[in-house]
Amino acid sequence: MADGDLPPPGAEHDPAYDGATAAPASHVVVYEDGQRELLVVVAPGQREPFHHHLRRSEMRVFRSAPLRYYHADGRTDDLSQSDATPDRPVVAQLDPEPLHAVENLSERNTYYALRIEFKVESARAAAGVSLVGGSDTRVGDTSLAVMREPTRSRPYMPGYGIHPPDEGSGLLPWSWAEQRLHSSHTFWVVTLWPDGRPHAMPVWGVWRTTTPRSGSPALSGHGRR
């Protein structure tokens, strides 16, 4: 189906029109286990094919762009957006969204957002629809391993007055670090080359419970490692 074609009758609940299936160029599944997380990336001038989202969801927009919203009955709406930045994302609770398509009207800003779809009905009431976001890089499907809670410690530096971890006070709990991980969008990933040399790279990502999910292309060097 061409991007501008209206969907056929009966497509309202057709799994073939699910966002990740019908519009894979702009919807990348980065996590799926009890809920599904989609990185939504719409480049300048890009128009998505028609698709739907049949679950309640939360949309977190990290970079705004002017959008044209196409309804399945042929109507269109031009959406004015609140400014969203990675440091100040716009967050909205969404009801299931029927068939639609979005066009990025910007000449330079890429729309970038994270849509979290709840497979189990959320107890929170959905309120309104807000379409927002943007990143200049396509993202891939690269997940990192689940980690256990780290052990608190201090650097071993004899002669510098630094107490061992079981003495003194001031060690912060893991929850302090995890709160900051949840609110961050850029993570430093350190991997090793085959010869043992370290390689450090800042990547876009999200922290879900104890599992980081990165926005690294799967075929990149640090994505493979």
* pLDDT at residue 211, rounded to an integer: 53
pLDDT top residue among 204 and 143 = 204
In a domain, 34, yes or no: yes
- Does one domain contain both 152 and 212? yes
Provide the whole-model pTM: 0.55
In a domain? residue 109: yes
Q: Read off the amino acid at residue 129.
A: V
Q: Is the pLDDT of residue 49 over 90?
A: yes
| Res 160: pLDDT | 83
Do 25 and 100 share a domain, yes or no? yes
Does 156 lie in the same domain as 84?
no
Residue 180: both structure tokens together: 């900051």
The answer on pLDDT for 33 being more than 60 is yes
**160 shares a domain with 203:** yes
Residues 150-191: pLDDT tens digits?
Answer: 778 888 788 888 888 778 788 888 888 888 877 777 888 888
Number of domains in the chain: 2
Task: For residue 80, give its domain range.
Answer: 11-118
- Residue 86 within a domain: yes
Q: What CATH number does the domain containing 36 carry?
A: 2.60.120.10
Q: Is residue 106 part of a domain?
A: yes
Tell me if 216 is assigned to some domain: yes
The answer to whether residues 105 and 154 belong to one domain is no
